[in-house]
């Protein structure tokens, strides 16, 4: 199985982007899909996840109210809508998947990781 991100771009502060995560090769409904980001010189941060089995959604405080995660189970796609972007949102964004995983504070993904998509927010 695999996941692959797309949609990263360069955007002005206050703008919006939608990242996509395409999943294939595994039973999508059994997985938690998570979004992480890593800025230069900083640790990787889990920012949002969605449990395709029970619908649980979680957001980190750093993105709550600005980012929205959604899942299209028919297409095996997960989206991260990012609004009111700030320069501090600049990072490489990764999606990842965990079978029967946990979606919440300090969630971890181990099964599949994408290669990342660069988001750059200009001030």
pLDDT digits (tens, 9 = 90+) for 89-102: 999 999 999 999 99
The dihedral sign for the CA sequence 60, 63, 65, 69: negative
User: Which stretches of the chain are assigned E, i.e. beta strand?
Assistant: 2-6, 10-12, 17-24, 31-38, 45-51, 57-59, 67-72, 77-82, 91-99, 112-113, 117-122
Give the pLDDT confidence score for residue 49 in this predicted structure: 98
Q: What is the average pLDDT across 18-39?
A: 97
Q: Give the pLDDT confidence of 37-67 residue by residue, as tens digits.
A: 999 999 999 999 999 999 999 999 999 999 9
What's the rounded Cα separation, in Å, for the pair 3 and 97? 8
């Amino acid at each position: 199985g695999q996941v692959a991100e797309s949609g990263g771009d360069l955007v002005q502060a206050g703008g919006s982007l939608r990242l996509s995560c395409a999943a294939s090769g595994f039973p999508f409904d059994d997985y938690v899909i998570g979004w992480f980001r890593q800025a230069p010189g900083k640790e990787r941060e889990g920012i949002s996840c969605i449990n395709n089995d029970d619908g649980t959604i979680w957001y980190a405080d750093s993105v709550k109210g600005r980012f929205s995660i959604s899942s299209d189970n028919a297409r095996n796609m997960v989206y991260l809508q990012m609004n009111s972007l700030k320069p501090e949102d600049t990072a490489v964004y990764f999606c990842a998947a965990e079978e029967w995983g946990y979606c919440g504070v300090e969630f971890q993904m181990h099964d599949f990781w994408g290669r990342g998509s660069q988001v750059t927010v200009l001030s």
